[in-house]
Amino acid sequence: MTQTDFNALLGPGAPDEAAPPAPLTGRELAALLSPLTPEAFATDYFARQSLNVEGAETKFAHIFSWARLKQALARGETLQDRRFNLMASFAGGEADGSRRPMFEAQIPQVTELLTAGATICITNIHMADPALARWAQALRTQLNFSGTVGVNCYVSPDGAGLPMHYDRRVATTLQIAGRKSWTFSTEAARPWPDANATYKDGQIVSTAADPGTPPADMTFRTVELSPGDLLCLPAGAWHSARGIGVSLALNVYFAPRNLFDQLAPLLLEFASASGQWRGGPPATVGAIDGQMPPPVAAYMRARLDEFYTQARAIIDNPQGMARPWLDALTDGPYTGWAPDPVQPLPRATAEDRFRVARAAPLRFIETGDTLTLPCDDGLLTFPATLAPILRRMTAETGGFTLPDVIAWPESATAPPPKDIILHLQTLYRNGLLEMV
């Protein structure tokens, strides 16, 4: 696309109609990172250090395109959710461009803004592209990420971009079309900062209590991204970008979920079971002249000691943490995303073959006599004796029949055949099994 084609993003005309999105395969993360393995990404790079992966020009063609952007802009005009919005900036990607901050704009202004040289950002574009939403949700699942995953879209004319700044979340840029020059710090100024920051006039501008190391004291690298290239920056990594020609890029963000938010339900359950906790500190009379009233101090000491005992119990029994973490993998996973409805059961014969759904891996935690398994719509609970069958189903990549599954158990403690069938039905109805 050239600068004279910006009109084509709105209304009729080119870009051509978008091709149907590719179905999910369960290997979205692996395909995105290739040739780097997901294991190496999670262990060595994610939220730790920057990563640049070069790819073939068509590597991301199935994920997004100019035509998909046009469709999303058309859908976006009818969206009422403020989380989907359009921002623009006339900063040129240089340090002095920080004097020109981003401002809110409207979709009908896209052509005018781009022609005038502005960078536009469509925030949470996945809300206007269901296929992109499901693709990003698949990344979240395959990375076992307990926070929120979202997608922003950036269009930058030649020379346009954003000034030096950092984000409070992991940002992964996919270059879709055109080229873009990036300058970035190889490590974070501060791990997982609690606010974004901009570098302006030699000073860090941020609401964070501790914005971290300034750019002048860090090591930087510059790369030029071409279509098919990926750049992943840890939260808190300084960076600026500038389009070379007309650039179209996606930014897949990984926003963390505070550990306290994951623990809170467990601790609230503990506190709600105690009258002492529910009642709060005792009432007292008299002056407070330099120290807590002794009854209040004694109450607080006793409750904190109980809290310590509870925390120690969790430490000594890591499985006790299973449910809060699994809940975090499913609860509010994605802005604007909704799970598929429960599936009707098929009329299956003894010859019909099933397999673990490619887009929904079987992840489960055993706790005592039960196992808990997350799905798109929440948590499922089964007897722990089903675990060997779940592992066998995962290993059978070619699929299996119902008689196969019935014949697998070798232990006397395995569920009876009728219970196995009921469990398989539950897995199918929740999208974890599919018919081959």
| pLDDT at residue 263 greater than cutoff 90 | no
Give me the mean pLDDT over the 164-191 stretch. Answer: 94
What's the confidence (pLDDT) of residue 92? 63
Give the start-end residues of each E strand in 234-287: 239-255
**Is residue 278 pLDDT above 90, yes or no?**
yes
Q: What pLDDT score does 49 carry? A: 92
Written as six digits, the tokens of 389 are: 């069958």
Write the pLDDT tens digit of every residue in 296-332: 999 999 999 999 998 888 778 767 778 788 888 886 6
Strand partners for 154 = 121, 249
pLDDT of 231 > 80? The answer is yes
- The pLDDT-based confidence of 97 (bands split at 50, 70, 90) is very low
pLDDT at 355 over 60: yes
Per-residue confidence (pLDDT) for residue 15, from 0 to 100: 67
Other CB atoms within a 10 A radius of the CB of residue 402 amount to: 18
Arithmetic mean of pLDDT, 97-112: 80
Q: Which residue has the tokens 């609860």?
A: 331
| Residue 222 identity | T
pLDDT at 393 over 90: yes
- Burial per residue of 218-233, b for 16 or more beta-carbon CB atoms within 10 angstroms, e otherwise: beeeeeebbbbbbbbb
Per-residue pLDDT band at 33 (split at 50, 70, 90): very high
Q: How does the average pLDDT of the chain come out, rounded?
A: 89
- The whole-number average pLDDT for the span 194-219 is 88
Whether 163 has a pLDDT exceeding 90, the answer reads no
pLDDT value, residue 160: 86
Model confidence at 3, pLDDT cuts 50, 70, 90, reads very low
From the number of C-beta atoms within 10 Å of its C-beta (0-12, 13-18, 19+), residue 238 rates as: buried
pLDDT of residue 264: 84
- What's the CA gap between 188 and 217, in Å, rounded? 12
Residue 96 has a pLDDT of: 44
Per-position DSSP letters for 348-415, written without gaps between them: --TT--EEE-TTS----EEETTEEEEEETTEEEEEEGGGHHHHHHHHH-TT-B-HHHHHH---STTSP
Closest by Cα among 251, 134, 126 to 182: 251
Q: Is the pLDDT of residue 5 over 90?
A: no
Distances (CA, A) of 1 to 6, 37, 89: 8, 33, 20
Going from the N-terminus, what domains does the chain have, and what CATH number goes with each?
Answer: 3-255 (2.60.120.650), 259-329 (no CATH), 354-435 (3.90.930.60)
Average pLDDT value for residue range 98-119: 85
pLDDT at 340 over 80: no
Band (pLDDT 50/70/90 cuts) for residue 337 is low
